[in-house]
């Protein structure tokens, strides 16, 4: 593992930035369903909210939903990611997600961005 990622705070900041970037890309792709009023501050704070939710609430939800995750061969994780995005939009009302399907698509984009950012940083 890269020395930068060995520190928990650095790992969290990387997740925060990846969540913010993923939200920004999701908003561009789903412009009618995920809006932030073109305010960069909203994306940064929403990314922080999502990173905190992913660090605190998501592990509990994954453990509780483990039978569904195993039964669906991991596909239920898409639903969990969507729920986390929807929860972030409910907690931080400046980020507007119109429905659960938009949240699921945004969750997939954010997950992909998170994976790519982590892979790139670990490869450096």
Please report the pLDDT score of residue 41 as a whole number: 96
Size of the chain in residues: 124
In sign, the C-alpha dihedral spanning 109, 5, 12, 42 is negative
8-state DSSP, 124: -
At residue 100 the predicted structure's pLDDT band, cuts being 50, 70 and 90, is very high
Residue 55 has pLDDT above 80, yes or no: yes
Instruction: Give the end-to-end CA distance of the chain in Å, rounded to a whole number.
Output: 10
**Per-domain residue ranges for the chain?**
3-123
Burial grade of 107 (CB within 10 A; 0-12, 13-18, 19 or more):
buried
Q: How far is CA 99 from the centre of its chain?
A: 16
Closest CA relative to residue 82, chosen from 121, 94, 65: 65
Instruction: Render pLDDT for 64-87 as a digit per residue (tens, 0 to 9).
Output: 999 999 999 999 999 999 999 999
At residue 7 the predicted structure's pLDDT band, cuts being 50, 70 and 90, is confident
């Amino acid at each position: 593992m890269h020395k930068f990622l060995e520190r928990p705070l650095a790992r969290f900041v990387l997740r925060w930035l990846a969540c913010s970037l993923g939200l920004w890309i999701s908003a561009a792709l789903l412009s009618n369903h995920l809006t932030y009023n073109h305010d960069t501050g909203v994306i940064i704070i929403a990314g922080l909210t999502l990173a905190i939710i992913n660090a605190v609430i998501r592990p509990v939800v994954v453990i509780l939903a483990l039978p569904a995750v195993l039964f669906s061969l991991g596909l239920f994780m898409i639903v969990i990611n969507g729920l986390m995005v929807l929860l972030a939009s409910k907690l931080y009302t400046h980020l507007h997600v119109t429905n659960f399907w938009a949240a699921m698509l945004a969750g997939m984009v954010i997950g992909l961005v998170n994976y790519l950012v982590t892979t790139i940083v670990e490869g450096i």
